[in-house]
Amino acid sequence: MKILVLGSGAREHALIHALARSPSVHKLFACPGNDGMKGQCSCIPFSTNADLVRFAREHVDLSVVGSSRFVEEGTVDALMTAGIPVIGPAADAGRIETSKAFASSFLVKHNIPSPMTQVVANRLEAERFLEENPWVKVVKGNGFSRGLGVTLVDSPDAALEAVDRLLKKHGPPVILQERLTGIECSYSILTDGNQWVSFSSSREYKRAGDGETGATTGGLGSVCPFPGLTPELEERIRTRIITPAVNGLKADKLIYRGFLSMHLILTTTGPKVMEINARLGDPETQSILVRFRGNLATLLMDCALGRLDATGSEVAFGRNSAVSVVIARAGYPADESAEPTVKGLEELTDTNVFHSGSTWSEKDQRFTFRGGRLITLSAVGETLAEARRKCYADLSRLSLQNVHYRNDIGAES
């Protein structure tokens, strides 16, 4: 099987790594990929959807979408129209991630627990609503923002300032929400629009500082599975959230064949959906897939062809745990001007290394990076504590300059 993975980050590198272990795969491509992946796949540039379709017709049996960019820009639709099996939603179904306003209405329509939400089109609407509803503590832009489009506020005036900022930067609409309290976790599935199989629970660490302090980032670490997931809680997530979501997509005649990740907050009244990803998250993917032990390629092809089998899916994951730590540029996310150095990757013994936008410099004999997040180190252990020890032990072997990472990923569990 020849497979194309669409994207260039650590999530896509983790997909490449997992697919490379599948016995049915004999060729892997990434578009556009990065130099850190090149030992496991061939990287091809992206120019237009038409060019990519021409390449896929000649060289690819299955395409797997990592980045939402390829959903939003119609690449998935172009591949589907050309008859190429794809893991990833068509653009209309992909709005469940690319439009927070659409996602909010979807959750309400299908009676899926979620925060109180109001969508506003302009400043005047926001001002009038905030005057009468001081419970608004979260302000979000509508579109895809790589985890950086959320502002937490403590007053109506602060909320209005956030609305002004988002309207100026991204345009309407803007989403106003209550702030839920509780522990955050994610639950991911693979669905062909009818059947679905679990791809485990996980927890993402989005704040920049230890102890969940500092600015909200695109994610600086993850653990899998989520340590607090009891059988009772998982059953509630499945019956109240996952099954209604899959049935809702089908009822709304939205074509969905791919990964779906629910970002949840565990409130005192039960789990509620904060956000939906029409893909696996980053860095959750890294922790999820280092635990996966099945034939990922065959499973994804079955899903893309609409013949997913819901029986026996859980055996692909063992009883082990994974920890992933993201090394970011110093100052991320507010300031990405620092020039980082990461050396010693060849010395690591207990982790998988997943690159985000890395470029190899022959002159300097080292990787250079674009963007705020540089690489992810992921380790597996029989327990979460063992996985954490392996991950941070390998991290300590690196020679690092002008970087930032959290020291407490998985520590409190």
Mapping DSSP onto H, E and C, the string for the chain reads CEEEEEECCHHHHHHHHHHHCCCCCCEEEEEECCHHHCCCCEECCCCCHHHHHHHHHHHCCEEEECCCHHHHCCHHHHHHHCCCCEECCCHHHHHHHHCHHHHHHHHHHCCCCCCCEEEECCHHHHHHHHHHCCCEEEEEECCCCCCCCEEECCCHHHHHHHHHHHHHHHCCCEEEEECCCCEEEEEEEEECCCCEEEEEEEEECCEEECCCEEEECCCCEEEECCCCCCHHHHHHHHHHHHHHHHHHHHHCCCCCCEEEEEEEEEECCEEEEEEEECCCCCCHHHHHHHHECCCHHHHHHHHHCCCCCCCCHHHHECCCEEEEEEEEECCCCCCCCCCCEEECHHHCCCCEEEECCEEEECCCCEEEECCCEEEEEEEEECCHHHHHHHHHHHHHCCEEECEECCCCCCCCC
Could you report the per-residue pLDDT of 192-235, keeping only the tens digit for each? 999 999 999 999 999 999 999 998 899 999 999 999 899 999 99
Range 121-150 average pLDDT: 85
Give the pTM.
Answer: 0.93
Q: What is the pLDDT of residue 310?
A: 57
pLDDT digits (tens, 9 = 90+) for 290-327: 999 889 999 999 999 999 875 544 457 888 999 999 99
Place of tokens 């690819």: 60
Closest of 39, 27, 34 to residue 11, by C-alpha: 34
Residue type at position 32: P
Task: Give CA–CA dist 170/142, Å, rounded.
Answer: 8
Give the pLDDT mean for 383-406. Answer: 97
DSSP strand pairing (196-204 vs 183-191): antiparallel
**pLDDT score for 314:** 47
Contact 79, 51 (CB under 8 A): no
Characterize the bridge pairing of strands 2-7 and 27-32. Answer: parallel
Phi/psi for 245 (5° steps) reads: -70, -45
Structural domains of the chain in order of their starting residue, each with its CATH number: 2-86 (3.40.50.20), 116-178 (3.30.1490.20), 183-316 (3.30.470.20), 321-404 (3.90.600.10)
For the stretch 58-115, pLDDT in tens is 999 999 999 988 998 999 999 999 999 999 998 899 999 989 999 999 999 999 999 9
pLDDT exceeds 70 at position 144: no
Q: How far apart are CA 35 and CA 88, in angstroms?
A: 24
When pLDDT is averaged across residues 375-379 and rounded to a whole number, the result is 98
> Could you give the C-alpha distances from 236 to 183, 242, 316, in angstroms and in order?
16, 9, 22
Longest dimension (CA), the chain: 61
- The confidence band for 364, taking pLDDT boundaries of 50, 70 and 90, is confident
